[in-house]
Amino acid sequence: MTKLIDSIQLPQGLQKLTPAELAQVVQELRDELIDSISASGGHFASSLGAAEISVALHHSFATPDDRILWDVGHQGYIHKMLTGRRSRMPSIRKKDGLSGFLKRNESEYDVFGAGHAGTSVSAAVGIRVALPEDRFVVSVIGDGSLTAGMVFEALNHAGSLGLKKFIVVLNDNEMSISPNVGAISWLFSRAITSRVSNFARRNFKNLYHKGYVPELVYKAIDRAEEATAGFLAGPAMLFESFGFRYIGPVDGHDIRSLIAAFEHAKDQDVPVLIHAATVKGKGYEPAEDDPITWHGVTPFDRVRAQFHSSKAGAPKKAPSYTTVFANTIVRCAKSNPRIKAITAAMAGGTGLDKFQAELPQSFFDVGICEQHAVTFAAGLACEGMRPVCAIYSTFLQRAFDQVLHDVCIQNLPVVFCIDRAGVVGNDGETHQGVFDISYLRSLPNMVLMSPKDENELQHMLHTALLHNGPVALRYPRGNGIGVTLDSELKELPIGRAEVLCRGNDALCLAFGPLASSAVALASHLQRDFGITLTVINARYTKPLDRELLAAELPNYPLAFTLEDHALQGGFGSAVLELISDEGLVLPSALHRFGVGDFFLPHASQEEQHALCGYDMASISQFLVRRCAKRLVAGC
């Protein structure tokens, strides 16, 4: 059977379709999306929930001349399909394929790229100011993103400018990745505003400006009307206080209602916020029932709604670093009630959902506001608590000033557990955790550590909770290496490294889990090439073990550093600084392995390691080549 969507030119052809035909297009796109993502994996539930909004927007607005901005991009897959990328959807989040987010260099319809929540309204204000007056600018933002303070800064600015042809579509599904928290989320449940109210208000205002209504009467009625709107609709009062006209809530899955709301918004002479109520995962019942699990998925069986499992007989995987962190902090907090766990809307992603279930009174989800999370933790620390902020590396970037100003200057004992440190794979440029060493090791009072394996992770967390000052503990996305976990936690000496194996031909200084990979590499080199390697697990980038490194570095014909991080300002840079400060003379220049000076495209973690040249095969080739040259030169 021929699909309607195959018979029209997208997205312009949507403008000629009836509401019934548009609803058919939505169903066809939703069905294609389920088929595609079940095979490839990717963001899922959010885009299903935004299907009608996507189609209605491209029907009602003349894109790309009218600009549509999507906050984050989780909800943008249907938009991608409408704008020339249907056939490429199976490649999404794969090397050289489509991005899982919106990207300016991928399509002219992707007006603004972002992987972090809460940016779309600010960007839309700038775009609206820069565009000709006859163009519309629409920002589509999920309700979870409204917990980001930057959104309210942008709303305030837009309202103060009185921007015309400026529309914010609030996609309210009561979810971000995890369930929404806070007073704003509660406020939305009270929403109700009619088109009649907006029509009457606009015409009453016109009568006043034409002189038919006395100013005293106008102001009195206007205040009464606003008070009534506030009583009937919490969000109306909130957004209209910013100078926005509020329309909603409308059924975000009813094409006719959405089109009516968009057309009504076009008639306003002030900024407009349209409140659309949606269901995350709409159209696929398992995703509707459990939108957290189905937010971002691996390939799955569409009919049975089961994720594809590992092959039968495959060895059992080691626990993830996130799981080991979660188990350890619960264990520590049960014996120390001063420990408080904080997340910024990522309870599941950071493993703190386990902490929340077992110790709810000591758990805090502050919403998508990392800045507040850090300063909130600083306040807790001022009163003797031991706060632990579990935040992805890429998101902690957003709170740099708070880490510096509110924690480090006051030398407060806040522990930053930095999940997804290092390359993170298919999320691409916006989510790589390869900058945290650079932006943290320059801060006085900060201790920066990373474990060689999951067992050392639990000891490092225990150590961090005992340290009387700020600590950043970074660990990667993915599973550990399968070592046995010690039953007793032990305190590790701050700033002390350890030698993992001894050799004569080269010295490897490794930071983080790559140290364990280097030990395996040493065995391979000795067995296959007769090359012996000393491997040092640095444990700390700050403070470095200056005594051990100063004693070891001059003794090898070849020395190199290894890190899952950007080379500029990273662990290798710290070692170079030590060499300069100590006046060390090395037989040859220190070589550094890590991420080069570019933003990593989406690919698997293994592909990203290889792209940057610090996968074990590339390092092995480098060492064999260098050692062979040295032997020839010696002859």
As annotated, the active-site residues are 280, 370, 398
Take residue 251 and report the two structure tokens written for it: 């059924």
Find, among 76, 124, 146, 72, the residue nearest to 271 by Cα.
Answer: 124
∠ CA 398-379-331, rounded to 5°: 85
8-state DSSP, 16: G
d(CA 191, CA 237): 10
Identity of residue 538: A
Nearest to 343 by CA among 383, 380, 387: 387
One-character DSSP codes across 301-334: ETTTTEEPPPPTTPPPPPPBHHHHHHHHHHHHHH
Structure tokens at 455: 């067992």
- As a whole number of angstroms, the distance between CA 502 and CA 411 comes to 38
Spatial separation of the C-alpha atoms in residues 307 and 400, rounded to whole Å: 37
Distant-in-sequence, close-in-space partners of 588: CB < 8 Å, separation ≥ 6: 557, 558, 559
Residue 626 tokens, joined: 């260098």
DSSP class of residue 279? Answer: -
- Closest residue by Cα to residue 417 from 393, 441, 435, 433: 393
Strands (E), 489-558: 498-501, 506-510, 533-537, 540-542
| Structure tokens belonging to residue 244 | 């926005």
Residues in the chain: 635
Angle CA 37–38–40, to nearest 5: 55
Given a contact cutoff of 8 angstroms between Cβ atoms, the answer to whether 611 and 596 are in contact is no
Q: How many CA atoms lie within 13 A of 195 on its CB side?
A: 11
8 A C-beta contact, residue 546 and residue 553? no
- With 0-12 CB in 10 A as exposed, 13-18 as middle and 19+ as buried, what is 570? buried
Residues with Cβ within 8 Å of residue 618, at least 6 apart in sequence = 610
Task: With CA atoms as reference, report the closest residue to 119 among 139, 98, 93, 143.
Answer: 139
In whole angstroms, give the CA distance from residue 248 to residue 533. 67
* Residue 621 near residue 531, CB atoms below 8 Å: no
